[in-house]
């Protein structure tokens, strides 16, 4: 059987010609790093970084039946969205397992959905399956657009000079429509996946490289670095943001994953509601943060032990550049989730002592919050 | 050490042999590929190594990789400075970042390692 063709973002040539190390991720060829993961990570924590996130799935919805359709296939309450607001939400299956975690945007032209790259086919299939005669349609415009994240304390100063609308008043999880570089229509949202302040920009694919280069120029005085998926992962990890395929999956319920706040059981019927009601009463497991004493990294799949009894599994683990420590997130029995609980990790046959610590591992200092 | 005077394994360890004592490290290429080094595990003095078998591991943010013995022998010395500070390896893989010294069993194994030119050629080929 032929290998499936890997997709390239509109910025692929730029990445390749600027030292990006290209890897396969979610069906796409993406840069994992340009310099080192730690340098790129620190650029975002201390200054500003720019990421190509065009691999994320992007869908538009138009027509009058959209709200009911979106309410049916998502767990959060779409009707609560104000104009120009964005909502973190989930798509569940009938068993209450997660098909994806998504963002739902509401702007003046309707609803917009951003999903994970690898889950785009499943999200499209779920929407199609539960259409139930909704008038109107959704349109996958992932390939027609690019998405660029500018993240870090210097994000506002980097993006504002390029954009014709004021960005400072745009609150967290809100968006504004406007023009970049005078003539590029853009959706600019105050969202991100790094634990820092920042913006995500959606622009036409054929303008992506022009916008990207303008961001790098504008951010130069801020010390901007292009950043790859490696730093994106360590940044989201420190902020304890879940990653589908790690903290979230069809086999993990949202209450165990600590995203149960995005499940609104009282909003009316939706896919997975009855199962989710049961999971809320008894999630079975809960996500915790772990700090290892040693330097070994407990990667996904590492068994968590209480004495010699297996009590859970690591979902993500890495070395935290900010805390200078080996950290992990794991799903464990709820009785073992209290901060300071001592646990052991079986890292490739080595018994590594660890303790439960509070999540998130990293929270940006209040003075940099806008 | 002068990299052009060393021998190399296909798995990117370098080796310098004098009499029957080998000094072992990993190449600049390997260090640059790994990036973001966090931790290195090396065997204790007295450990017997078998050519081609793992003698330790090196961990970066991205992944953990095995280190493979370029020759068989007994570990006579371990660079504890690099265990305490793996950054030494990133900064200087051929001097301060050496890993272990070995009393080799069979000097004939030396001949099977790649010389500098052959190693560079292999890297160039892999880049395509």
A88-99: average pLDDT: 95
A27-53: average pLDDT: 98
Query: A interface mutation test: which of B33, B37, B38 has the most A CBs within 10 A?
Result: B38
Comparing CB atoms, the residue among B35, B38, B62 nearest residue A295 is B38
pLDDT of residue A64: 77
pLDDT at B64 > cutoff 50: yes
Tens of pLDDT along A134-165?
Answer: 777 889 999 999 999 999 999 999 999 999 99
State the alpha helices, DSSP H only, in chain A.
Answer: 12-17, 37-46, 66-73, 120-129, 155-159, 208-218, 229-238, 273-281
Distance CA B106, CA B127 (A): 33
pLDDT at A55 > cutoff 70: yes
- CA angle, A9 then A12 then A14, to 5°: 135
B39-64: average pLDDT: 96
CA-based nearest distance A213→chain B, Å:
26
Q: Which residues of A135-149 are buried (b: 16+ CB within 10 A; e: fewer)?
A: eeebebebeebbbbb
Terminal alpha carbon distance of chain B: 29
B88 pLDDT tier (thresholds 50, 70, 90)? very high
CATH tag for B3-126 (out of 1.10.645.10, 3.30.1330.10, 3.40.50.620, 2.40.50.100): 2.40.50.100
pLDDT of residue A370: 44
Q: What is the ipTM of this complex?
A: 0.86
Give the list of residues 6+ apart from residue A160 with CB closer than 8 angstroms, or none: A166, A167, A168
Tens of pLDDT along A338-361?
Answer: 999 999 999 999 999 999 999 999
B22-29: average pLDDT: 97
The C-alpha R_g of chain A, in whole angstroms, comes to 21
Chain A residue with Cα closest to B41: A296
Q: Residue A278's closest CA among A138, A86, A155, A94?
A: A94
pLDDT of residue A137: 84
A86 pLDDT tier (thresholds 50, 70, 90)? very high
pLDDT at A280 > cutoff 90: yes
Q: Sort out which chain A residues have CB atoms less than 8 A from B65's CB and list them.
A: none
pLDDT of residue A62: 84
Give all domains of chain A, ordered by start, each with its CATH number: 7-56+143-238 (3.30.1360.120), 58-140 (3.30.70.1400), 285-357 (2.40.30.110)
Is B59 part of the contact surface with chain A (CB cutoff 8 Å)? yes
CB contact under 8 A, A319 and B61: yes
How many residue contacts between A and B have a Cβ separation below 8 Å?
31
Query: A interface mutation test: which of B39, B56, B62 has the most A CBs within 10 A?
Result: B62
Residues of A with CB under 8 A from a CB of B: 32-33, 36-38, 230, 234, 295-297, 299, 318-319, 321, 326, 348
pLDDT at A369 > cutoff 50: no
A177-181: average pLDDT: 98
A186-198: average pLDDT: 98
pLDDT of residue A133: 75
Give the list of residues 6+ apart from residue B83 with CB closer than 8 angstroms, or none: B40, B41, B42
């Amino acid at each position: 059987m032929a290998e499936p063709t890997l997709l390239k973002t509109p910025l692929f040539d730029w990445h390749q010609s600027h030292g990006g190390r290209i890897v396969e991720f979610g069906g796409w060829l993406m840069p994992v790093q340009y310099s080192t993961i730690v340098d790129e990570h620190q650029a975002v924590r201390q200054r500003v970084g720019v990421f190509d996130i065009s691999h994320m799935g992007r869908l538009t919805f138009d027509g009058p039946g959209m709200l009911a359709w979106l309410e049916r296939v998502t767990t959060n309450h779409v009707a609560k969205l104000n104009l120009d607001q964005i909502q973190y939400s989930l798509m569940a299956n009938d068993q209450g397992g997660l098909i994806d975690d998504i963002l739902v945007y509401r702007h003046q032209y309707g609803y917009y959905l951003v999903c994970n790259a690898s889950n785009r086919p499943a999200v499209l299939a779920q929407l199609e399956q539960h259409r139930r005669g909704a008038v109107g349609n959704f349109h996958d415009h992932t390939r027609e657009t690019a998405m660029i994240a500018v993240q870090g304390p210097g994000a506002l100063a980097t993006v504002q000079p390029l954009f014709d609308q004021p960005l400072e008043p745009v609150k967290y999880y809100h968006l504004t429509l406007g023009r970049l570089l005078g003539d590029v229509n853009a959706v600019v949202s105050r969202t991100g996946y790094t634990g820092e302040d920042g913006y995500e920009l959606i622009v036409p694919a054929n303008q992506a490289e022009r916008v990207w280069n303008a961001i790098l120029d504008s951010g130069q005085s801020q010390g901007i670095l292009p950043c790859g998926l490696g730093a994106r992962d360590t940044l989201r990890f420190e902020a304890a943001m879940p990653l589908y395929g790690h903290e979230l999956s069809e086999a993990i319920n949202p209450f165990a994953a600590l995203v149960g706040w995005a499940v609104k059981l009282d909003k009316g019927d939706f896919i997975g509601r009855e199962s989710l009601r049961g999971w809320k009463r008894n999630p079975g497991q809960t996500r915790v943060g772990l700090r290892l004493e040693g330097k070994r990294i407990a990667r996904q799949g590492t068994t968590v032990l209480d004495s010699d009894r297996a009590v859970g599994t690591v979902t993500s683990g890495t070395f935290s550049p900010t805390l200078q420590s080996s950290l992990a997130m794991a799903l464990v029995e709820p009785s073992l989730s209290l901060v300071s609980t001592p646990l052991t990790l079986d890292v490739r046959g080595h018994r590594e002592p660890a303790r439960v610590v509070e999540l998130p591992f990293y929270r940006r200092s209040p003075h940099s919050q806008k | 050490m002068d990299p052009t005077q060393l021998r190399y394994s296909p798995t990117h360890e370098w080796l310098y042999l004098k009499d029957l004592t080998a000094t072992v490290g990993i190449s600049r290429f390997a260090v640059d590929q790994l990036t973001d080094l966090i931790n290195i595990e090396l065997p204790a003095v007295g450990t017997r190594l078998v050519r081609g078998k793992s003698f330790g591991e090196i961990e970066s943010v991205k992944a953990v990789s095995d280190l493979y013995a370029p020759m068989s022998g007994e570990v006579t010395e371990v660079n504890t400075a690099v265990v305490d500070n793996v950054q030494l390896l990133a900064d200087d893989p051929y001097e301060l970042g050496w890993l272990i010294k070995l009393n080799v069993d069979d000097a004939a194994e030396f001949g099977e390692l790649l010389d500098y030119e052959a190693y560079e050629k292999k890297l160039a080929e892999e880049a395509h």
